[in-house]
A and B are shown apart, each in its own frame.
Chain A
């Protein structure tokens, strides 16, 4: 106990010191070196842009950490907030946004921060709060970074718009349409998507079938795609912060479950798990002809299957737009360099930088002001048969409706995913597996 008070005391002292320095420090003094620590994952923080920021601010060092066991920073952040320590910036994946929106106290309220003059030359005006930047971003993505007490806890990096990546050569061999507009018309609905898959599979040779080839990489991915096309997942927005659990009554859940089971039983998926080595190899070998691909997956496909360049194309998702994934950059409440962190975020996630990230890594910008920008709309990707990916994904994400995400969404998603896996592995019938899912979810919510 005594130690804790001591620690608090020292924080208070250093806060006073920082405040004093801010008030008394003369502006003419050269900037002190500052190290901003960032907890991130995947491609969220790009090396090139980090270098660019270094060139702008030689005094700032960006220390970037990724965790293997906790790739999405779901748990490290709990520790950081509990122990009142932590980094200056944390990338929070949207799977966790429902959880973190319940704990705004763990984050610096970005409405109360103001940009300094440090990035004026780079096009970021001084004295702006988060609310001044809100208009730049897709409204429902912005909301995912707003706490239930209306504080702004994070800026959106990218939006994981979901479309169908398909292999033109394999479609041609199966006698299906190959031009992206016509391909999109093959599957206005999920039912039609399954029909197309069955048709594709029927054209496969016996040897191909034995080798495990199929239409879609994994039928289980249909579930998340369909869920995100609704307006509710497992919670109903009843005006309270917690929301009301509706996982067992929401018709969208049942619909998504049934459609996924239907696709599984029709055998359109190869049952290869995503992000496994089988998946990477299958991508090269043409084991599957389609992937439900969020924008950020384009870069993964390029990295893993470079020899398939030009053979892929992108078509619309059945049933309208879709979304999967996305990240917010947040400043924890115990950040030591909150001001520098805020300045970095406002620069790093400005539309100009998000456009650069999209062109090099395929992370689709959450900055919706870009969606009318010819630089984005005319951008074509040669790897995907010169598909106008900027146009396709921006049209898709504009169709997505905001969803109220509750605190336990991720745990419920996990239970349902396991349930679908049991059916796919033929360990249980759909009815039995669903009963097990409900029992598993009950265990989670009944503490």
Chain B
């Protein structure tokens, strides 16, 4: 009896925060047939098992193992000794760690917000009915995403080169001094952020586009009847409807942003001469694989996890607020 109740409850609950805009509509859509639901009981666990088995082996086990070795001075080839919480104490006092946090968040901010604005703009262009060859453009937007980071770095180094880079060449035409993108703190962050933006903007554009295409035409029709210009339609119709998608992109972008590794690593493996673009994951990598401090690296990994958890919590709270807002309208 209680089981039935739980099932009822689950059926009524929204599938995800983004789909809860209209409870009546949601209920209508998610009414499974009784036949399929009955199979839940017998096949549910075997059906989800593959995911959980893989997750246990490749997801959970390494995490638990890292927690374990973070309490050790760990040398995979030599001996290991128990170190208590010393790795965490050292980490807290390590200026490189705080520097890496600063760099990571700076690169994240520089790559996320401009990218989002541009992606929404591009999606609005792609949505336009006057655009010819729409599917061609949509496909081509994904190409950067499947390009190797190594190749991207080589190309962008040519753009950002201090002496012969195209960007400095253009600045030179205006009589400006050449910018040393690698050595500066903000310039190096900009260079990395541009590389990330270039790689992910197409992907995010398509997500925004999909969400824009789901906005009912009637909204625009009534807006234009009310005399709204295209710009006003964009501000007052499109953007509010994208709220949930924006949150989604922000969450995914934040998790990705905390893991920026290959771009800075390719620019300089040590993160720059004054570690000006040492990110958290690059810091972790170098501690493990250059300095052979595996236990310490594991402690950094746990610190990153904690940071991600805090940010996810903030994201979750904001998401909940926004989706509550959305249902009110």
Contacts and interface: CB of A to CB of B under 8 A. Distances in A.
Nearest to A281: B164
A169 B280 CA distance: 47
Interface in B45-88: 73, 76-78
Contacts of B289: 70, 74-75, 78
A424 B273 CA distance: 10
A273 B182 contact: yes
Given A418-B273, A425-B273, A447 B73 contact: yes
A427 B274 contact: yes
Nearest to B158: A277
Nearest to A270: B163
Query: How many B residues touch the partner, as a band?
Result: 35 or more
A104 B249 CA distance: 49
Contact of A443 (B94, B157, B162, B265): B94
Query: How many A residues touch the partner, as a band?
Result: 35 or more
Contacts of A160: none
Contact of B77 (A103, A281, A417): A103
B13 interface: no
B291 A282 contact: no
Interface stretch (A32-40, A221-229, A406-414): A406-414
Contacts of B150: 68-69
Nearest to B96: A443
B290 A282 contact: no
A19 to B, nearest CB: 27
B300 to A, nearest CB: 13
A425 B183 contact: yes
Interface string B262-294: 100100011011110000000000001111110
Contact of A277 (B78, B164, B180, B274): B164
A421 interface: yes
Interface string A58-87: 000000000011100011001001100000
B76 A78 contact: yes
B77 A78 contact: yes
B121 interface: no
B77 A277 contact: no
A420 B165 CA distance: 24
Contacts of B180: 425
Given A276-B157, A425-B273, 5 more contacts: A281-B161, A281-B164, A287-B163, A414-B269, A422-B273
13 contacts: A68-B148, A68-B150, A69-B262, A105-B77, A278-B161, A281-B163, A282-B163, A414-B269, A418-B272, A421-B183, A421-B272, A422-B274, A444-B293
Closest 5 CB pairs of A and B: A421-B273, A75-B289, A82-B76, A277-B158, A278-B161
Interface of A: 68-70, 74-75, 78, 81-82, 99, 103, 105-106, 211-212, 270-273, 276-278, 281-282, 285, 287, 407-408, 410-411, 414, 417-422, 424-425, 427-428, 443-444, 447
